[in-house]
Structure formats: structure tokens, C-alpha cells
Amino acid sequence: MAATTIVYRKIIKPSSPTPSSFRHLNLTLMDYTNIPHYIPIASFYSIPKNCDINQISHILEKSLSKVLSSYYPFAGQFKDNNSYVDCNDIGVEYLHVRISCPMSEILNHPNNDVVDVVFPKDLPWGSTLNRSPLVVQLSHFDCGGIAVSACLSHKIADGYSFSRFLNDWADIARQVDFKPSPQFNASSFFPLMDDAPVIPNGVPEPQRHVSRMYNFSSSSLRRLKNVVATNSGVQNPTRIEVATALLHKCGVAVSMEKSGVFKPTLLSHVMNIRPPIPLNTMGNAFCLFGSITMTEDKITLPNYVAELQKAKQHLRDELKDKGTNQLATHALEILKQGVDIMKQGIFDAYSCTSFCNFGLYTIDFGWGRPVRVTLARNSMKNHFLFLDDPSGDGINVIVTLTKTDMLIFQSNKELLEFATPAVQSIK
């Protein structure tokens, strides 16, 4: 692994103080039940033109200070056993790091976990106590390429909120004339409840998990949609639905190869619920939906997509019927149902998260759009995380499995018919 050298480390504070009326931010039901301790996003950029690394760092630091005035909870501290954030402007950690290898060595590596090199060394964080929810790192490579990575506690925001922050930060760095307008009012929709369950987290040792990134090109996605739509009742499958179905099917194939028998499976997915709640609501604003496959004869792409569509539509109908004033109660019911099912121990559980259409490839600090956006190691096994690819038409997916399962999964012929390992040559 490439050696890293910390050039310097500092604390970046908001450019203007947070009003006393905003100092106390209550966490929400969804904040409390979140398992991942952090969201670690890295954006890689080709060699910036007409801007040296010291200028780049200065631009990032100055604009980060400005954007934190609007995203003030990110510069605060968790207090009272993580039940609220003290928005005390303590600041965020900022690191400037040099990495002794070309950027292509990271982006062309078949193991996505190598991107951990552009994140602070103490990830995953063991605790968010007495530290700010956000850590930022600027990494520059021997070739001149750079990476801007940021780690945000999942206790305070979801992927949608984080992507809004990153794009607002980049706009300020480019001196776009606007003021961000995030609203940290998610607790009004998801108030904290005493009986909220904690979601079980599979195998607890993240070092036993490995991640690979695969790309579904636009042409591969069209072929998958045709496979699903032909001779079935499935209408207008989305790119996420067909890719999810294929990955789920390949995961089941791994399980059957290991045990020799079919085991019922539970597939859960996260739905961003902006709308019905306002788009500028920051925090964790999502609900879960899922599908169960009980028999081996249901292991088909059309069936998986049909079940996903049915579950997604059911959730949409429920949200529409109940209204925003009952979101917390409904979300709690779904969480409890999922936890009860997982506690039975009879299912292989798979989970999916999508960051598609969040604008991660529009994060331009002034030296162009990223050539790759990805995340650090995931602590959850059997997890599929979807991202847009640079073209905007395809999908990149980070697959996280145990090492043993990954050896089988990555050789699946049906997977390789539609997906390819994501590598990219950087000049």
C-alpha cells in the first residue's frame, strides 16, 4: 500500500458564529437507529490546471469555513449519549496528506478498499464522542491528481444531505453567488422515540469484509431491462431495480454453492422520502422497504424486480395515506418488522442503498468534475451501494461481502455478462 505523509492538520471553524437559538439540535428516530457510524465519500480529480496544491488547499479551507456557517451542526459536538448535537462551532478536522503513488494505482485496483488510503487513519470511527461529526482530507498523489474526501457521521445526516453539503461547498469554492439554505428540522418529522430498535449488523468484524466496484454500462442496463420485461408482467423496470435483482440473484447463488441448499432471503432497500418532506430538510429522512423470497423457484430476475416494485409502491401508498405527521410511527413499525425478521435467523439478509441522482459527479471545486466518486470500506456484509458513473447513464455499484463469499461472487458468469470491474486509466 502507498505510504501517506500528513503535510498538516488543522481545525476549520465556521466563518460566522452560530446563533444561540440554533445551538441545540435534537437527533431523530432515524438518526438513532442508524448503524453505520460514518458516510465516507471520496472524489478523485485529474491534475488541476493553473492551480498548485497549496492554492487548492487554501480554496478548500476558506470555502469549507463559509459553508459550515450554513451547515453548522457538522461543526458541533454530540452530547448526552449522542441524543443531541451541541452546535458550538468547535470546528471540523481538516487534513492535507501526500500519497506516494500515482492516482491510477488506486483507481485501477480491483479491490475498492484501497481507497481507504484517502481517508483519516482512524476509520471506521469507534466513537463520535468528543469530536466533530465531520472530517475532511485533501490527498495529493505523485502524478499530480488529487482526492477530496469527507467523512460525516451517519448519526446526523444521510447520503442525500451529505451530497447537498458537498455540492454547496463546491459552489462556494467556485465563488458561485448564492447562500445555501439547508433546514435542520428532520426531528419535526421523525421525533426520537423511547422504543426505537437498534438494527442488527451482521458480522461485526469489518476486516473480514471486502469491497469490489462494478460498472453497469447503459447498454448492459438496457439488456437487463429487456431480459426482465420480456415474457413477464413487469412494466418499465428502472436501472436500479434490474441491477439490484441481478446482484441479489448472484448473492443467492453464492449461498447455494456454499451450502448446497436454498435459504430464504430478505432484501431491504432505502427510500429517500424527499418529497413528501421538503427537499432542503437535512438529517436522516428515509424509510426502508423490502422483499422476501421463500422458495428456490422464485430465483428469477423478473420475480425479484416485480417484488421490488410491489414493495416500493406499497411504501409510497402508505406514506401518501398516512401523511407526514405519521412518518415516524410508520418508519418505526417498518424498522421493528425488519428487526424481528432478522432475529429469526432463517434468512440470508441483503441490503441496498442508492446514491444515484444525488449529483455526486457535479462536485466541482473549480478544477473540473471528479473522474471517480466512491466510498470507503463498509462495515456491513451483503451490501450493495449504487452510485452514478461518470457518464451519468450507467451505474457503479460497491459490493461488500465476506472474503470467502467474494471469491465465489466475482466469478459468477451471469454477473460478468452484464457488469465489469470498474477501473479507469488516468493520464
Q: Which domains are present in the chain?
A: 4-188 (3.30.559.10), 207-421 (3.30.559.10)
Give the three-class secondary structure for 237: coil
Confidence (pLDDT) at 122 = 76
pLDDT in the model for residue 191 = 82
Buried-state track 282-304, b at ≥16 Cβ within 10 A, e below 16? bbbbbbbbbbebeeeebbebbbb
**What is the rounded average pLDDT of the residues 76-88?**
88
Peptide bond into 276 cis (omega under 30): yes
Would you give the DSSP letter of residue 357?
T
> pLDDT-based confidence at 197, cuts 50/70/90?
low
Question: Strands (DSSP E) along 243-382, which ranges?
Answer: 265-272, 286-293, 348-354, 372-375
Confidence grade of residue 231 (pLDDT, cut at 50, 70, 90): confident
- The yes-or-no verdict on residue 424 having pLDDT over 70 is no
Q: What gap in Å lies between CA 364 and CA 39, rounded to an integer?
A: 20
Count the alpha carbons within 13 Å of 65 in the hemisphere toward its beta carbon.
12
Taking the CB of residue 332, how many other CB atoms lie within 10 A of it?
18
Question: What's the average model confidence in pLDDT over 202-209?
Answer: 55
d(Cα 55, Cα 263) in Å, to the nearest integer? 56
Take residue 405 and report the three cell numbers written for it: 463469499
Per-residue pLDDT, 329: 75
> Does pLDDT of 366 surpass 90?
yes
Non-local CB neighbours of 223 within 8 Å, separated by 6+ positions: 418
Mean per-residue pLDDT, 55-60: 97
Which of 87, 194, 111 lies closest to 401 in space, CA to CA?
Answer: 111
Q: What is the predicted pLDDT for the residue at 125?
A: 58
Assess whether pLDDT exceeds 70 at residue 68. yes
- Local structure of 125: helix, strand or coil: coil
Banded model confidence at residue 130, pLDDT cuts 50, 70, 90: low
Q: What is the mean pLDDT of the chain?
A: 89
Residue 283 near residue 30 (C-beta atoms within 8 A):
yes
Q: How confident is the model at residue 345 (pLDDT cuts 50, 70, 90)?
A: confident
Q: How far is CA 198 from CA 30, 32, 336, 342, in A?
A: 10, 8, 9, 12
Burial class, 2, CB count within 10 angstroms (exposed 0-12 / middle 13-18 / buried 19+): middle
Distance CA 406, CA 368 (A): 34
> Residues near 51 by Cβ (< 8 Å), separated by ≥ 6?
59, 366, 367
Taking residues 25-36, report their average pLDDT. Answer: 74
What average pLDDT score do residues 30-46 get? 82
Q: Which residues are catalytic?
A: 154, 364
Distances (CA, A) of 148 to 89, 95, 118, 183: 22, 10, 8, 25
Task: Using the predicted structure, report yes or no on whether residue 127 has a pLDDT greater than 60.
Answer: no
If you average pLDDT over residues 74-88, what whole number do you get? 89
Check residue 232 and give its pLDDT: 82
Contact (Cβ atoms closer than 8 angstroms) between residue 167 and residue 362: yes
- CA pair distance 319, 283, nearest whole angstrom: 19
Q: Is the pLDDT of residue 118 over 90?
A: yes
Q: Which pLDDT score, from 0 to 100, does residue 334 have?
A: 79
pLDDT exceeds cutoff 60 at 326: yes
Q: Inform me whether the pLDDT recorded for 62 exceeds 60.
A: yes
For 158, the enclosing helix (H) or strand (E) is none
Q: What is the predicted pLDDT for the residue at 292?
A: 93
Q: How many CB atoms lie within 10 A of CB 272?
A: 19
- What is the dihedral sign for C-alpha 167, 172, 175, 180? positive
Q: What is the pLDDT of residue 389?
A: 95
Residues facing 396 on adjacent strands: 215, 387
Among 182, 183, 180, 130, CA closest to 153: 130
CA distance 390 to 371: 7
pLDDT digits (tens, 9 = 90+) for 147-173: 999 999 988 999 999 999 999 999 999
Give 194's contacts (C-beta < 8 A, 6+ positions apart).
Answer: none
380: its cell numbers:
456491513
Amino acid 243: pLDDT: 98
Q: Which of 216-225, 249-258, 321-330, 395-404 has the weakest average pLDDT?
A: 321-330
The residue ranking higher by pLDDT, 55 or 78, is 55
**Closest C-alpha among 295, 191, 255 to residue 401:** 255
Mean pLDDT of 125-149: 85
The pLDDT-based confidence of 426 (bands split at 50, 70, 90) is very low
The fraction of the chain above a pLDDT of 90, given in percent, is: 69
**Which of 220-224, 342-346, 353-357 is the least confident region?**
342-346
Choose the weakest-confidence range: 101-110, 129-138, 262-271: 129-138
CB 353, CB 271: distance < 8 Å:
no
pLDDT tens digits along 261-313: 999 999 999 999 998 899 999 999 988 899 999 999 999 999 999 999 999 99
Residue type, 183: Q
- Is residue 373 within 8 A of residue 42, CB to CB? The reply is yes
Residue 425: pLDDT band with limits 50, 70, 90: very low
Listed range (71-80, 195-204, 381-390, 414-423) with the worst mean pLDDT: 195-204
